[in-house]
Amino acid sequence: MADEKSDEKEMEKREEKDEKSREEKSWDEKWRRDPISAIVWAILFIWVGVVLLADNLDLLAPWLDNLAQSTGLTFIGEMEAWEVILVGGGLIVLVEVIVRLLMPQYRRAVGGTIFFAILLISVGLGNVIGWEVVGPLIFIALGLSILARGLFGRK
């Protein structure tokens, strides 16, 4: 009787170890099959670090002023670090969407990603451009994400 209980416990422990091993393998496998996500996350973290460092060293404001003058988009000069982070993050995520649509081996549903990208950009520009413009952009993004899912989603 005692032997049966110890055998059951040992089997349960082995099954738990096997399950953890499978989860780890599937996680590694996921990143190997989809390096785009890993690259995008790395670029996002690097972007946040670069912007915060530039802001802490008082390099961000002059750079934004120069960019605003050269492009004629005066609102750029009024942006704060977190607004720059959100807008840049949204643009990085939009590049991910474009890559996924152009490269069939990395293609997957991008509707939610489009919505997330436009949401980041909209929130980043909200205080600079005004919420009367940004609010409708969020609804447009939601519509585009639904449309993208319908057109490019897996069938």
Q: Which two tokens stand for residue 74?
A: 């005066």
Cα–Cα distance for residue pair 68/73, rounded to 1 Å: 5
pLDDT digits (tens, 9 = 90+) for 77-100: 889 999 999 999 999 999 999 999
| 75 pLDDT above the threshold of 60 | yes
**Mean pLDDT score, 135-154:** 78
How does residue 31 score in pLDDT terms, banded at 50, 70 and 90?
low
How does residue 104 score in pLDDT terms, banded at 50, 70 and 90?
confident
| 113 pLDDT above the threshold of 80 | yes
Give pLDDT, residue 83. Answer: 94
Domain ranges, ordered by start, for the chain? 34-152
The Cα-based distances of 135 to 56, 81, 101, 115, 117 in angstroms read 31, 21, 27, 13, 14
How does residue 50 score in pLDDT terms, banded at 50, 70 and 90?
very high
Give pLDDT, residue 140. Answer: 86
Answering whether pTM is above 0.75, one says no
Amino acid at 100: R
Q: Is the model more confident about 43 or about 113?
A: 43
